[in-house]
Every structure is written in C-alpha cells, then in structure tokens.
Amino acid sequence: MDQTDEKPIRSLRQLAEAEGECRRCPLYRDATQAVPGQGPSHARFMLVGEQPGDKEDLAGRPFVGPAGRVLDAALKAAGIDREQTFVTNAVKHFKHEMRGKRRLHKRPDNYEIERCKIWLDRERELVKPATVIALGVTAARSLTGKTVTISKMRKMPIEMADGAKLVITVHPSSLLRIEDEADKRAAYQAFVADLKAAAQSD
C-alpha cells in the first residue's frame, strides 16, 4: 500500500508520521523505527545521506553517530550552519545484518532505494532547498536515478528539474574507514572543499 495516497501530506510532521507507517519495502521489519529528515521547513541546503546507522536507528534522528560527528565538523569548517540545514537520508530504515550482538550496516539495494524515493521527493517538495548535497553513491542514485562515480561527479554541480542545484560528494562514513592518517586528512579537506563550493555557489 502507498501511504501517500491515504491523506495529503502538507507538513514535515505529517510526512514523518507517514514514513513511520511505511511498508513499501521489507526494511521496516528489522529496524527500530523510520528516521525522518530533520531541519528547518524551508532550509537553503538539504543534505542527503544513505540510510540511518545503528545510532540513528535508536535515536530516531539522522547523523547522530560517528559519521554525524565528521559531518558536523566539516559543515562548520565549510561555514554551513547545520541548524539551518535539512539533513535526511535516501532510505529511511536501517538495513543491517547481525554479527554476534552487533548490527552491521548493509548498503541498500536499488529496489529499496527506489521504493523509498517517494519520501525523499516529498521532503524536497516541502522544503524546497536551493542546493541539495548528495553524500555518497546511494544518495546520488536516489537523486539522479542512475549509478554515478563520485570522483567524476563531485566537481560538477547538476541542475535538477525543480531548479535546485545538486552537488555530489562522498559520504562522511567513508572518511572513517581510511586508516592512513595523511590520507584521512586529505580526504577530509577535499570533503570540506566540496561543501564550501556548494555553499559559495548557492
């Protein structure tokens, strides 16, 4: 059933309620809850990640775990106020597998991304951001409808059908996986530069 056909959605609160009832794909079965987007109703910037992680699934809020701390620092360095930014994910439920007692992240597949796209589209319709920043390949796939290579697309803003500008960059969680400290610093600075460029060209 498509919950959006049941009643009109005119606010982010109504949207969050509808997302909480979503059964469009099986991911809701193993997640604690849906994690709606968070931020001002008419933010200039919308950040789109992949999906909630373990911490986000428990808290019900996006980007509150380790990747969220990297994102917060990078936004501050880029001069973007997170409190004035709408932060969300392409997929609203946490996809994972159990490893002992730990819940390990699994990347959403194309079917799950497509089934969840209706919620991201509604968020964009309600918030009307001037700039959308896709964090990683899953977000880029949801927003463009195709698989993209981040390294090729991160310096090329795209104009979307609704007039918003789309900027594609890496997901902050990718920085956490870099072991070499020099490489990690360089990757972080490149991430900050992408965010700065998005802010300055808005």
Q: Say if residue 177's pLDDT is above 90.
A: yes
Question: pLDDT tens for residues 89-128?
Answer: 999 999 999 999 899 999 999 999 999 999 999 999 999 9
Look at the block and give the residue holding tokens 């949207």: 15
DSSP 38: B
DSSP 182: H
Please choose, from the candidates 122, 112, 145, 124, the residue with its C-alpha nearest in 3D space to the C-alpha of residue 23.
112
CATH fit for domain 10-200, picks 3.10.310.70, 3.40.470.10, 3.40.630.10, 3.10.20.600? 3.40.470.10
Give the percent of the chain with pLDDT over 90.
Answer: 93
Per-residue model confidence (pLDDT) at position 200: 86
Q: pTM (2 decimals)?
A: 0.95
